[in-house]
């Protein structure tokens, strides 16, 4: 382990900015203090093509060496995107008022969800991070809403949720007439 890596780890553990060593007292622990973050993002934005290639190479090497950490980062960043989207639309089912986050999904109000996802990502089932990031990039389109799995599936399967359209319950519960 290099001297720099050791210092980096020591500062992470002590709750200090890894670049300048300023301790984070009474605030959330981060990797960089505000000053260093500004310096870093300026550097990051103005990298030469050679520096860009180098950071790409280094991050590829790191991902290969730390597959578990890489997966954890991906999960964390996917979760962050999902939470942002849910927070924006209000984390509650528009139809039945369900607030359990584990049940909440994104629904296309006009019902062209799968067609839309095929257009965007080339796959009907593509959801997850790519979709959440797209929503954030687009500034939270107004043709999306939050539905719980039940209401979303009922809408997809029966054309409407029985909470909103009682004829659905009737259709599901009764045998079709034989002409």
Residues forming the site for Zn ion (CB under 5 A): 17, 19-20, 22, 33, 36, 93, 95-96, 98, 148, 151, 161, 163
Provide the β-strand partners of residue 148.
104
> Closest CB to Zn ion among 92 and 136?
92
Query: Following DSSP, what letter does each residue of 131-162 receive, concatenated?
Result: HHHHHHHTT--TTEEEEEHHHHHHHHHHSS-T
* Residue 137 Cβ vs Zn ion, minimum distance, rounded to whole Å: 27
> Closest CB to Zn ion among 20 and 58?
20
* Residue 58 Cβ vs Zn ion, minimum distance, rounded to whole Å: 21
> Closest CB to Zn ion among 57 and 100?
100
* Residue 84 Cβ vs Zn ion, minimum distance, rounded to whole Å: 21
* Residue 23 Cβ vs Zn ion, minimum distance, rounded to whole Å: 10
Cβ atoms of 109 and 147 closer than 8 Å: no
Is 167 in a helix, a strand, or coil?
Answer: helix
Is 89 in a helix, a strand, or coil?
Answer: helix
> Closest CB to Zn ion among 37 and 129?
37
Cβ atoms of 140 and 89 closer than 8 Å: yes
């Amino acid at each position: 382990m290099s001297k720099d890596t050791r210092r980096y780890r020591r500062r992470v553990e002590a709750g200090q900015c890894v670049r300048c060593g300023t301790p984070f007292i009474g605030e959330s622990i981060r990797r960089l203090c505000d000053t260093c973050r500004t310096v870093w993002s300026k550097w990051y934005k103005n990298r030469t093509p050679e520096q860009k290639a180098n950071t790409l190479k280094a991050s590829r090497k790191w991902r290969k060496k730390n597959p578990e950490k890489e997966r954890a980062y991906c999960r964390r960043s996917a979760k962050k995107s999902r939470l942002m989207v849910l927070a924006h639309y209000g984390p509650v089912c528009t139809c039945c008022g369900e607030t359990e986050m584990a049940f909440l999904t994104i629904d296309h109000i006009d019902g062209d969800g799968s067609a839309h996802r095929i257009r965007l990502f080339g796959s009907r089932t593509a959801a997850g991070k790519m979709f959440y990031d797209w929503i954030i990039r687009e500034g939270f389109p107004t043709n999306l809403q939050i539905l719980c799995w039940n209401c979303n599936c009922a809408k997809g399967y029966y054309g409407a949720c029985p909470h909103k359209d009682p004829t659905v319950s009737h259709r599901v519960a009764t045998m079709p007439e034989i002409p």
